[in-house]
Amino acid sequence: MAIAVDFKNVSVAGLESSPVSKSLAGLRANESRYYKNKYNHDFTVTPASKSKSTLDYVNRILKKERDITIAARPLETSSFQVENIRMAYVFYESGLAINVMYTLDNPKKRAVGLKLSEGMEVPKELEGKFKFARQKSKLAGTIRGSFFVIKGEY
């Protein structure tokens, strides 16, 4: 059952077990606001326990592209398509959010985004592999983000 993410009244519902639940909720709301403003799309999330296919899809890309296995427990996922872009998100208990942007008609515009919630450390499995740029957000405080281009077909 998908739940719409309200970016006007930020809620930690579904993320309560995270030590950075408030900033992770802000990060999730920030993503929701982006998709509403840019594509008029309502961003929804599903508990990770009920969205195995999205979780498997993201995990497969991380493993095949960069040999990365995320240790943190996944809490929620989101999967949708806007215009010609298939999107998949996983929000982790540690405060990490990973998204896969996969354009259906342009293999040069496919990437994995990694975002760290304010207050969390860089996960060991990502240490030294990425440089994280800082971005300010009214909803999420300071977000640190990085990305890599997807080379394979998924």
In this predicted structure, what is the pLDDT of residue 1?
75
pLDDT tens digits for range 9-44: 999 999 999 999 999 999 999 999 999 999 999 999
| Chain segment 74-100, per-residue pLDDT in tens | 999 999 999 999 999 999 999 999 999
Q: How far is CA 123 from CA 36, 59, 94, 132, in A?
A: 30, 16, 8, 12
**How far, in Å, CA of 137 to CA of 126, rounded?**
23
How high is the mean pLDDT of the chain? 96
For residue 142, is pLDDT > 80? yes
Residue, of 23 and 107, whose pLDDT is higher: 23
Please state the pTM of the whole predicted model. Answer: 0.96
